[in-house]
Structure formats: structure tokens, C-alpha cells
């Protein structure tokens, strides 16, 4: 299950972690939350980032 | 897990500031234009860096004579857009809008009583704001949330559902 975990330390420092994602979509998800909260510091990829994201292809047929 | 992003919280949403104050047992006074502090900057502590827009402005301040620093800081502390009252503290916290976010300003001289509540880095307010704003944001995006306090004082907000 996809989950975003926001950890807010006693000094107000925010860390956003994405769970259950593969590929670059996780960076987008964490960036969106962090951007809403404040000034982005830096982001780093976990190993799963480099895994290929499996996306489903939708084919639309004309009738 | 696959990605980590960190950020420094910015107090942009006044309603979330209000909720954060309530969470801490404090009260936001909207529209109060000055806040209670010692009244004159005596220069016995370092000037808060977050009051300066950038490193250059801070360095310029540091290069000033002690008299000019006193006048500059006294002027910087002479106004606010809103104020926060903390029960048990004589001094107040000012919120100054800088065009993008509210900068909290306070005097942590011990007789004012804010040191134990606000500390020197303002972390308590920043944390409460981030928790309340994260929840408001999550709800607005349709996420389900769970809040949990960890042993080291960190607050964890888990978001599921919504547009994930």
C-alpha cells in the first residue's frame, strides 16, 4: 500500500518519506507534501527509486 | 520506502498558526501590531538569523557598530502583524509577514518567561504548525491520516488514500 509518512521533529524539521512506491513517482509525492509545508531542503533517493515503475497502459478504442 | 525529502517549515497559513497555538495552549491575537518584549535590544545575545532575508543582510548587520546593531534590532522588534500570548509568560511572540511567510520574533530573556516555552530556536511553534498544517493539507487532498507521537518527541503523520 502506498503511504506518505511525515516526520516532524521537535525542532520543526520535516522529513517526508514515501512507502510502497517504485520509480520517480515517489520523488514527486514527497516533494508535493514538503513544498506545501515549507522551503525544500534536499531530497534523496532510496534504492527502490532506481527500480522500474510498472505502469498500466490504457488503450482507447474508437467505436 | 523509496524517497526522502526534507524541508524547513515556513509559517504561511495563519489559520494553521491559530490551530498550532491552540494545540500548545497558546492564543493567537490577530491584528495586534506590537508584542511585549524587553523593548530595547541590548546586544547580549546573537541576533536571530531568521529575521534577515539572506546571508548578505545578516553579514551587513554583523559588520555594524554595536550602537547601530542595537538601533537596527530594536526597530526590527518594534512591530508585528499578529501576536501570540503564552500563558505564564510575560513577554509575547510577534509574527511578522515578510511577503511569503510569517517570521516569529520573540525575546527569550529569562524574565519574560518565553525561554522555557519557545526556546531559542522556536522549534515548539514550528513543530506544532507543521503538524497542524500537514493534517489540514492531507484532509484537503482527500487523504486519511494517522497521528502518532514518537519517544524522541517527533510527531509522525501517516497519509494514505487520496491521490496516492
Q: Return the number of CB contacts < 8 Å for A and B.
A: 149
Nearest CA in chain B to A23: B2
Contact B2 A40 (CB under 8 A): no
Of B119, B93, B88, whose CA–CA distance to B106 is shortest? B93
Q: What is the pLDDT of residue A15?
A: 93
Residue A53 near chain B (CB below 8 Å)? no
Choice between A51 and B22, residue whose per-residue pLDDT is larger: B22
- Whether the predicted pLDDT of A6 surpasses 90: yes
Contact B134 A18 (CB under 8 A): no
CB A13 within 8 A of CB B152: no
Q: What is the ipTM of this complex?
A: 0.85
Q: What is the pLDDT of residue B1?
A: 44
- Whether the predicted pLDDT of A23 surpasses 90: no
Task: List CB contacts (< 8 A) between A47 and chain B.
Answer: 2
Contact B2 A46 (CB under 8 A): yes
Residues lower than pLDDT 70 in chain B: 1-2, 119-120, 163-164
Residue A41 near chain B (CB below 8 Å)? yes
Q: Least CB-CB distance to B2: which of A1, A34, A45?
A: A45
Of B85, B86, B83, B89, whose CA–CA distance to B104 is shortest? B83
Q: What is the pLDDT of residue A27?
A: 83
Residues 6+ apart with CB under 8 A from B147: B131, B135, B155, B156, B157
Q: What is the pLDDT of residue B79?
A: 96
Q: What is the pLDDT of residue A40?
A: 67
Q: What is the pLDDT of residue B97?
A: 93
Choice between A20 and B3, residue whose per-residue pLDDT is larger: A20
Residue A6 near chain B (CB below 8 Å)? yes
- Whether the predicted pLDDT of A59 surpasses 60: no
Amino acid at each position: 500500500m502506498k503511504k506518505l509518512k511525515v516526520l516532524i521533529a521537535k525542532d520543526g524539521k520535516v522529513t517526508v518519506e514515501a512507502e510502497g512506491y517504485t520509480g520517480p513517482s515517489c520523488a514527486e509525492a514527497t516533494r508535493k507534501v514538503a513544498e506545501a509545508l515549507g522551503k525544500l531542503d534536499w531530497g534523496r533517493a532510496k534504492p527502490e527509486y532506481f527500480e522500474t515503475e510498472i505502469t498500466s497502459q490504457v488503450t482507447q478504442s474508437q467505436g | 520506502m523509496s524517497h526522502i525529502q526534507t524541508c524547513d517549515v515556513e509559517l504561511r497559513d495563519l489559520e494553521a498558526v491559530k490551530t498550532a497555538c491552540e494545540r500548545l495552549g497558546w492564543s493567537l491575537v490577530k491584528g495586534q501590531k506590537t508584542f511585549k518584549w524587553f523593548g530595547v535590544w541590548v546586544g547580549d545575545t546573537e541576533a536571530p538569523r531568521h529575521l534577515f532575508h539572506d546571508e548578505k543582510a545578516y553579514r551587513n548587520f554583523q559588520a555594524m557598530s554595536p550602537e547601530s546593531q542595537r538601533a537596527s534590532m530594536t526597530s526590527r522588534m518594534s512591530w508585528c502583524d499578529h501576536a501570540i500570548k503564552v500563558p505564564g509568560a510575560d513577554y509575547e511572540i510577534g509574527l511578522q509577514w515578510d511577503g511569503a511567510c510569517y517570521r516569529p520574533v520573540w525575546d527569550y530573556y529569562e524574565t519574560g518567561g518565553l525561554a522555557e516555552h519557545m526556546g531559542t530556536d522556536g522549534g515548539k511553534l514550528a513543530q506544532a504548525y507543521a503538524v497542524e498544517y500537514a493534517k489540514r493539507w492531507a484532509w484537503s487532498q482527500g487523504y486519511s491520516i494517522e497521528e502518532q507521537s514518537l519517544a524522541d518527541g517527533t510527531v509522525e503523520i501517516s497519509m494514505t488514500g487520496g491521490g496516492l
